[in-house]
Structure 1
Amino acid sequence: MIDPPTGPARGGLLPGLLAPLARPSTDHTPLLAHAAARWARWLPYVLALAAISSLLPSATNVLATDYGLNVGLAAALSIAQTVPLLLAVSRPLPAWWMIGAADLLTSLLILTTGRDTSSSWPWPAPGVVGYLLLMLPLALRERRRTLLSVWLATTATSLALSLLGIRADVGSDNSLLAVALTGAVLVLGGALRERAEAQRLLAEQEHISEAERERRTLLEERARIARELHDVVAHHMSVIAVQAASAPYRIAGVPPEAAEEFGAIAGTARDSLSEMRRLLGVLRSEESGTEKAPQPGIAQLAQLVETVGRAGVPAELAVLPELVDALPQAVDLSVYRIVQEALANVVRHAPGAEAWVSLAVDGPALLVTVVNGAPPARAESLEAAAEGTGHGLVGMRERVRLLDGKLDTGPLPDGGFKVAAVLPIDTPREPAA
């Protein structure tokens, strides 16, 4: 992750560059702690132990044999240089302080022995390897400014010890190699960290975008249902108002009290209709001309099936004739919309497949079933060329939930798909007087 720009540090350039070394990352989660596999979560500790078990004896031997240090002192210095690698799994910057101090102390003690040796100076080879291993978890955890400060501190210390070694004629200089390798590992680790962070942020953004798309699709479908319900309820409220207002004129001998009651009913219906239109008026603001047409129902299913057939999906319709104009208007409209969306999904996802639409009455419920077979072997989904919203079933669920019904959808063993809805039928719709 790219650090935000900051102003110049107070107290001079050098304190500003070294200040990040005193502020380690607050994230102490071990590396790979969020991995799904258990073995992956233990992998950093296993690698650290393997590095320690390999470097500890070799560092002790090199310091004692090649540099002439006391064996006990060499072992103590080697432990200080390698064991903090375990700490680096979760707290790499404190581990750097420990290992860096041990490496510096080792070089100073080597210098004081006064031994003329051809070994590397100022950093023994095992120390360089351990230091480079430390740089990787450090780069994966700390900020870019901290990594720069670590590299500058390493460079300054290496150059200072190199000058001391030249004066004392101690060993062959490896300071530039150590500085170059340290910088390379820090750059590589930092690049991996920033790439992983960018992928994480991208995944989070995609998740947020998908949730927003689902929410927007749901709200749009609810708004569409609300508009259609507005039409249904407005029709019935208008009929109530007209019937109540005209009752004293259509029925002879209506008492004045009853006529007054009819007038109150008509007034209440008109007030309710006005209030409903005012509350739902915002949903009508973007209506197109086609939405102002009469709402479809079971009677239009035959035309819908014929249209789908022209789109390359042969479909059969089985519906009892007595169901036409016999259902509540809300159920009638919902049945049409469910069948319409189900057949549209067949056209999009299984072009060329056969489909069957059936409506049947089971006691107080209406059974709506739309089943399609497997598409032809070479048929390609239209969604491959133009990605759809992927939320076609949202509207079905909302409509079924509105009517207190049940919806069952899912693939079939033969490669087809099934949409089955159970919609309660309270009472048949009575024609308006």
Structure 2
Amino acid sequence: MKTPTIADARRYAARQLRTLLHHLSTPSEDETPLLGESRRRWVRQLPYVVALILQAALIPTGIVSLGHFYGLVLPVSAALTVAQTTPLFLAITRPLAAWWISAATLVTTAAITARHHQVMGSWPWTAPMVISYVFLLLALALRERRPTLVAVWVATVLLTVLTTTLGLPRAGDGTTVLLIALSGAVLLLGWAIRDRAVARRLLSEQEQISEIERERRTLLEERARIARELHDVVAHHMSVIAVQAASAPYRIEGVPADAAEEFTTIADAARESLAEMRRLLGVLRSEESAAEKAPQPGVDRLAQLVETVGRAGVPAELTVDEGLAERVPQAVGLSVYRIVQEALANVVRHAPGARTWVSLAADGPELRLTVVNAPPPQHAESLEASVEGTGQGLVGMRERVRLVDGRLDTGPLPDGGFKVAAVLPLDLPLETPA
């Protein structure tokens, strides 16, 4: 094993000194004022109030102490005292820079007072200077990292030892020991307070995360319950309708051809509704709302939708600008399909037999959708009396339009008809969900 030499000791001391200087010259990246993260205004202003009170109390007493105990002239006493207390304001935002100013002032004060014969009190520093330095270290401990605090305390010890033992003609008294002890205690106290605040913040963040997870779990449970209800009730009845409509021509003898075709149309509509119901149940049972893998209906399916409504006794006409279907984004196309689907369903329920016009036209960067129905025939009776409406049709339309940042206008017409008009964007931002 190699025996350490003087050169090795010097290199080790040089490395430690470089480390010490690095920590003393690298402040924290957080430039938030001390207590600036508090929600209460009086707490945020508390450091400034404390610094102002300390300045008002320490400047006069510091000037008097330096003049009375050390015999310094007023300008020198005032300059040293102000240089020692003013960094208290700087410590609120930049405590490490304030410490450098304060430490330099302590060394300067000791060097000046050591060569004065009229020393009636403690040396090398007065009580106001010690108090100011201790409060500055408290602000430093609440803001800086642990290595920086250790480096500051080591530098304080070296500062006091070198000041009182090297090159100065006067021996120090208990003031130096007091400063070392107080600085260590204050840095340790600030360290503990800061760690406690960090722990409380992390605990609060964890509680918020847990609350979000609980809400998410509750939402998933509610969605699963809704999915079960839809499966047990709606899907069951739609399956019965599909089976009965498909088998009616074979179970009932002498069914006319028109009636058989009508049964086939009903069965196809029921099967299509079941397919959409299955996609909806898949979304509800999934943790992600975008879990659908099947292609969603769009503008290209409107013709089939209008034809289906026509078989239900509602004569409808569809007008789409040439080449418009290829320009419509998927999210907008799905919204268009659902809006038209709900509007035509309302016509079937509230105005059976009324003529209906569906039109899609491009107007610059916007897509204009209009669904207008004439008044129902006088002999037609609304199906609302026999079919319970959910009252959510128009609400669903508005939600679809708002999803793609569009506009919706609905309302009755003077002749007794009804109009649904939507303006949707043809160009969507990338973050718009499809």
- Give the Cα separation in 2 of the matches to 1:403 and 1:177: 78
In structure 2, C-alpha distance between the alignment counterparts of 1:400 and 1:273, rounded to whole Å: 22
Q: Does 1:71 align with 2:74?
A: yes
1:248 has 2:260 as partner: no
Taking structure 2 as the reference length, the TM-score comes to 0.58
Q: Aligned to 2:133, which of 106, 131, 134? A: 131
Q: Alpha carbons of 1:276 and 1:193: their partners in 2 closer, same or farther (altered >3 Å)?
A: same
CA displacement 1:279-311 (0-9 Å, x = unmatched)? 6369789xxxxxxxxxxxxxxxxxxxxxxxxxx
Whether 1:82 aligns to 2:85 is yes
Q: Distance in 1 between matches of 2:131 and 2:275?
A: 82
The amino acid of 1:52's aligned partner reads Q
Query: For 2:34, what is the secondary structure of its paired residue?
Result: coil
Q: 1:86 is paired with a residue of what secondary structure?
A: helix
Cα distance in 2 for residues equivalent to 1:16 and 1:402: 70
Matched residue type, 2:153: W
Partner residue, 1:33: 36
Q: Sequence identity, in percent?
A: 56
**Inter-partner Cα distance in structure 1 for 2:393 and 2:221:** 15
CA offsets 1:123-146 (integer angstroms, 9 cap, x no match) = 332211110111111111111111
Cα deviation for residue 148 of structure 1 reads 0.9
Amino acid of the structure 1 residue aligned with 2:151: S
Instruction: Give the conservation status (yes or no) of the 8 Å contact 1:118–1:172.
Output: no
Q: 2:188 matched to which residue of 1?
A: 187
CA–CA separation in structure 1 for the residues paired with 2:387 and 2:149: 70
Higher RCO (C-alpha 8 Å, min separation 6): 1
Aligned runs of 1:13-412 on 2, under 5 Å? 13-113=16-116, 115=117, 117=119, 119-164=121-166, 168-256=169-257, 258-259=259-260, 262-263=263-264, 265-266=266-267, 269-270=270-271, 273=274, 276-277=277-278, 280=281
Where does structure 1 lack aligned partners over 5 or more consecutive residues?
Answer: 1-8, 286-362, 367-398, 406-433
Say whether the 8 Å CA contact 2:156–2:180 is kept in structure 1: yes
Task: Provide runs of 4+ in structure 1 moved above 6 Å.
Answer: 281-285, 363-366, 399-405
Q: Distance in 2 between matches of 1:365 and 1:44?
A: 69
User: Given the superposition, is the C-alpha separation of residues 152 and 364 from structure 1 closer, same or farther in structure 2, using an over 3 Å criterion?
Assistant: farther
- Corresponding letter in the other structure for 2:47: P
How far apart, in 2, do the equivalents of 1:213 and 1:279 lie?
Answer: 24
Contact conserved, 2:142 with 2:191, CA < 8 A, in 1? yes
Number of residue-to-residue matches in the alignment: 286
CA contact (8 A) 2:243 2:267 kept: yes
State how far apart, in whole Å, the 2-side matches of 1:36 and 1:261 are.
68
Q: Which deviations, in whole Å up to 9, do the C-alpha atoms of 1:89-147 show, x marking residues without a partner?
A: 2222221111111111111112233x263532333322111101111111111111111
Deviation at 1:34, TM superposition (A): 4.2
Q: Provide the residue aligned with 1:351 in structure 2.
A: none
Q: Aligned AA for 2:163?
A: L
> For residue 337 of structure 1, what is the aligned residue in structure 2?
none
Q: Alpha-carbon deviation of 1:33?
A: 3.2
Residue 154 of structure 2 aligns with an amino acid whose one-letter code is: L
- Comparing 198-207 with 61-70, greater Cα deviation is found at 61-70
Structure 2 unaligned blocks of 5 or more: 1-11, 287-384, 397-434
- How far off is 1:256 after superposition? 4.4
How many Å apart are 1:163 and its aligned residue?
A: 1.0
Asked if the contact 2:67–2:74 (Cα under 8 Å) also holds between the matched residues in 1, the reply is yes
**SS of residue in 2 equivalent to 1:112:** coil
User: Could you tell me how far apart the structure 1 residues matched to 2:142 and 2:121 are?
Assistant: 32
- Cα contact 2:71–2:118 (8 A) shared by 1: no
Q: 1:116 touches 1:170 (CA, 8 Å); kept in 2?
A: no
SS at 2:153 equivalent: helix
Looking at structure 2, the residues matched to 146 and 29 of structure 1 have their Cα atoms a distance apart, in angstroms, of: 18
* Cα deviation digits, residues 213-240 of structure 1 (max 9, x gap): 1122012101210121122222222222
User: Which segment is superposed worse, 272-281 or 49-58?
Assistant: 272-281
- Distance in 2, matches of 1:80 and 1:107, equals 14
Q: Is the 8 A contact 2:134 2:182 kept in 1?
A: yes
Instruction: Tell me how far apart the structure 2 counterparts of residues 162 and 365 of structure 1 sit (CA, whole Å).
Output: 98
Looking at structure 2, the residues matched to 364 and 260 of structure 1 have their Cα atoms a distance apart, in angstroms, of 24
CA distance in 2, matches of 1:257, 1:364: 25
- Range with bigger deviation, 19-28 or 92-101: 19-28
How far off its partner does 1:364 sit? 11
Q: Identify if the C-alpha distance between structure 1 residues 55 and 400 changes in structure 2 by more than 3 Å, giving closer, same or farther.
A: farther
Q: Residue 92 of structure 1 contacts residue 137 of structure 1 at CA under 8 Å; is this kept in 2?
A: yes
* TM-score normalized with structure 1 length: 0.58
